[in-house]
Amino acid sequence: MSLKAPRGTVDLLPEDTKKWQHVEKTLQDLCRVFNYEEIRTPTFEHTEVFQRGVGDTTDIVQKEMYTFEDRGGRSITLRPEGTAGVVRAYLEHKLYGSPIQPTKLFYFMELFRYERPQQGRMRQLHQFGVEVLGSADPSVDAEVIALAMTAYQKLGLSSLTLVINSLGDQQSRSAHREALIKHFTPHMDELCADCNSRLMKNPLRILDCKKDMNHEAMGTAPSVLDYLNNESKEYFEKVKQYLDEMDISYKIDPTLVRGLDYYNHTAFEIMSDADGFGAITTLLGGGRYNGLAEQLGGPSTPGIGFGMGLERLLMALEAEKVELPIANDLDVFFITMGEETKATAVKLVQQLRLAGIRVDQDYQDRKVKAQFKAADRVKANYVAVLGEEELAQGKVKIRSMETGDEVEVAFDDLVRTMQEKCGGVDK
């Protein structure tokens, strides 16, 4: 039996999860400010949700999904991305019927992709994402991008580059598609098998090929921006205008295509420019997907969203040497002397916890000196000492671990006193 975690997965130990909790809390608070509500969907879906929603020509569907047949003979897939499952839930529960529109959602998800593990890219990965369904207003595109940029900035990142592009509407994409087929056809003998299979199915995805990314045909491929019709140009201009109004700087990259079939109009990525972050600089990707709901059998519903990899976010924070405000100290460590004091200590510890005071006690039957050492190891700010003499007097000795100052406090005044010293829920 192997005691190692499966390849492509990691254990998040307590020193790690404190950072994750801070990041998640910051993102949750930001979503409340932007008026986004949380949604939680199943870890697995019917495989068709991803085949139809993500696209048969994508690497995710062709190479990376964890798919299995359940005991009922149904094809089930562990979710490889977040958007398709959220849109499925939106349609199943008829959220489009709500009088409050658009529907603005956020989520935290564990995703599963069978790919070669590398720094910041695992087979089990964690993602924060948002989806806005029910509005085709370009100001929503700008809002979603603003939320992403604000999230990184609130967490302390500064070495960021926002890259945007427009894939255009269906008419624009069709014209660009024909131009790409005409451009790449003479080069197919020089390109990889994946590019060959994509030529007629989805030639836009050839531009996203990692194997042939340096082929000269990639650099001379027709730009999608040259094939935007007037409506698509106007849409893109408005997105840029709104970003300008919010003082959000960006670069336009005509080769930015995103790897999923459901994108149209606005596409964007946020990159880390931090030294030492690595060769793969993308932190986040997203865009508009106005046709996805129809592909899943629902009514016409415009949508836009992004997915933020939390592993890569933590890597970027480390690369920029951002110190997260993580509390590693304990308010109070309860020290008892003698068996008789334990029952009262248990009661007082619970009262403090109910008042929001971070408190712990000895569970190893250690001597008093060892208990003080334990209090020091957990970085307790105070110790509460309860011996038989204190028990008889109905008091506890409170000692500051920093100064050594000591006061006696009656049992009934303990909660109030510690709230004044440490703060608490009911302060």
Q: pLDDT tens digits, the chain, 427 residues: what are they?
A: 778 999 999 999 999 999 999 999 999 999 999 999 999 999 999 999 998 877 766 767 777 899 999 999 999 999 999 999 999 999 999 999 999 999 999 999 999 999 877 666 789 999 999 999 999 999 999 999 999 999 999 999 999 999 999 999 988 888 888 888 989 888 888 888 888 888 887 787 788 787 888 888 888 888 889 989 999 999 999 999 999 999 999 999 988 876 555 678 999 999 999 987 877 789 999 999 998 999 899 999 999 999 999 999 999 999 999 999 988 889 999 999 988 899 999 999 999 999 999 999 999 999 999 999 999 999 999 999 999 999 999 999 999 999 999 999 999 999 999 999 986 544 4
Token digits of residue 284? 């986040």
Tokens 């609130």 label which residue?
154
In a domain, 296, yes or no: yes
| Predicted pLDDT at 130 | 98
Identify whether 292 is part of a domain. yes
Q: Which of 272, 290, 319 is the last residue of a domain?
A: 319
Are residues 156 and 281 located together in one domain of the fold? yes
Q: How many residues make up the chain in this entry? A: 427
Burial of 77 (0-12, 13-18, 19+ CB in 10 A): buried
pLDDT in tens, 14-73: 999 999 999 999 999 999 999 999 999 999 999 999 988 777 667 677 778 999 999 999
Domain-located, residue 179: no
85 and 65 in a single domain? The answer is yes
Q: Alpha-carbon distance 186 to 245, whole Å?
A: 44
Domain of 115: which CATH number?
3.30.930.10
Q: What is the pLDDT of residues 267-282, one digit of tens each?
A: 999 999 998 787 778 9
**Of 319, 350, 370, which residue is a domain's last?**
319
Report how far residue 7's alpha carbon sits from residue 20's, in angstroms, rounded to the nearest whole number.
21
In a domain, residue 47? The reply is yes
- Same domain, yes or no: 336 and 309: no
Whole-number Cα distances in Å, 269 to 34, 166, 233, 258, 381? 20, 12, 20, 8, 44
Q: How many Å apart are CA 178 and CA 144, to the nearest integer? A: 31
Q: Are residues 64 and 154 in the same domain?
A: yes
The pLDDT, as a whole number, for residue 221 is 87
Quote the pLDDT of residue 426.
Answer: 44
Cα separation, 51 vs 273, whole angstroms: 34
Return d(Cα 285, Cα 396) in angstroms, integer: 56
End-to-end CA distance of the chain: 51
CA–CA dist 49, 88 (Å, integer) = 7
88 found inside a domain = yes
The answer to whether residue 54 sits within a structural domain is: yes
Of 131, 135, 115, the C-alpha closest to 123 is 115
Predicted pLDDT at 275: 86
Same domain, 138 and 49: yes
pLDDT at 100: 94
Specify the number of domains making up the chain.
2
CA distance 395 to 410: 4
**DSSP calls for 18-82:** HHHHHHHHHHHHHHHHTT-EE----SEEEHHHHHHHT-TTSHIIIII-EEEE-TTS-EEEE-S-S
At residue 240's C-alpha, the angle toward residues 235 and 245, to 5°, is 125
Domain co-membership, 347 together with 282: no
Nearest to 251 by CA among 265, 268, 264: 268
Closest CA to 79 of 38, 51, 104, 39: 51
From CA 36, how far away is CA 259, in angstroms rounded? Answer: 25
- Give the structural domain span for 343: 330-422
Distance of alpha carbon 289 from alpha carbon 287, whole angstroms: 7
Q: Is residue 199 part of a domain?
A: no
The CATH code of the domain that includes 336 is 3.40.50.800
In 3D, which of 426, 390, 415, 392 has the Cα closest to residue 332?
Answer: 415
Q: What's the one-letter identity of residue 320?
A: E
Q: How far apart are CA 245 and CA 123, in angstroms?
A: 39
CB 380 within 8 A of CB 362: no
Of 251, 286, 319, the residue that ends a domain is: 319
* In a shared domain, residues 58 and 106: yes
Could you tell me which residues come within 8 angstroms of residue 384 by beta carbon, excluding any fewer than 6 positions away?
Answer: 332, 333, 334, 335, 348, 359, 396, 397, 398, 414
Q: How far apart are CA 179 and CA 163, in angstroms?
A: 24
Claim to verify: residue 137 and residue 250 sit in the same structural domain: yes
**Alpha carbons 191 and 186: distance in angstroms, whole number:** 10
How do the residues of the chain divide into helix, strand and coil, expressed in percent and rounded to 5?
40, 20, 35
